[in-house]
Amino acid sequence: MTEVAPIKTPSLEGKRLSFALAEDRLAHYPEFRDFFVRTFDLDRKGLSEPGYVRAPSGNAYALIFIGRSGTPFPSGLEIHAIVDAIEPIDGDVLDRDLWSILRWMIDGVGVPWTVEDFDRTGRLYRVPAAPSG
C-alpha cells in the first residue's frame, strides 16, 4: 500500500542520524509492538541494532527500538533520518517521509487500524503531508 520498505543496514560512512520522531509508549498498543517484532526480527536481535527503512523520497531512516525494565520490548521507538554528515534534511521531505512511514506501520498492523482512517484524521487536522483525497 505504501512505498516504504525495510532495508538492510545502509552504509553510514559520511552520514549522521538526524532525530525525526519519538513514541515512548509503543507498548500501550501491543499490535504495534508485535508488528515491529515481526518486521525486524526483534525477538532475536533485541536492542543490538536498529531497523532500517527506505521512504518514497529515497531517504533511509533508522528505527531505534527502546526497552524499559518491566515493560514488553520494544516499549518505545525513535525514528532518525540518515543524512549526509553536514547537510540538513528538507523539512517538507521529512514530513512526507514520516507520514509514509506511519502509513506503512498502520498498514502492517492492520485492523482495527486503517490507513484510510489515518489519512482522514490527517486531513481533519490539516496535516500538510496527509493525502488530499
- The tens digit of pLDDT for each residue in 10-39 reads 999 999 999 999 999 887 789 999 999 999
pTM (2 d.p.): 0.92
**Residue 79 and residue 101 in contact, taking contact as beta carbons nearer than 8 Å:** yes
Contacts of 105 (CB under 8 A, 6+ apart): 32, 35
**Residue 103: which of 80, 87, 127 has the closest Cα?**
127
121, exposed or middle or buried, with CB in 10 Å at 0-12, 13-18, 19+?
exposed
Confidence of residue 87 (pLDDT cuts 50, 70, 90): confident
**Mean pLDDT for the stretch of residues 58-68:** 95
Query: pLDDT over 90 for what percent of the chain?
Result: 72
- Give strand pairing partners of 75: none
Question: 489515518: which residue's cell?
Answer: 118
How far apart (Å, rounded) are the C-alpha atoms in residues 132 and 107? Answer: 18
Grid cell for residue 78: 525513535
- Angle, helix 30-40 to helix 91-109, in steps of 10 degrees: 100
Binning the chain into helix, strand and coil, the percentages to the nearest 5 are: 35, 25, 40
Domain residues of the chain, as ranges? 5-124
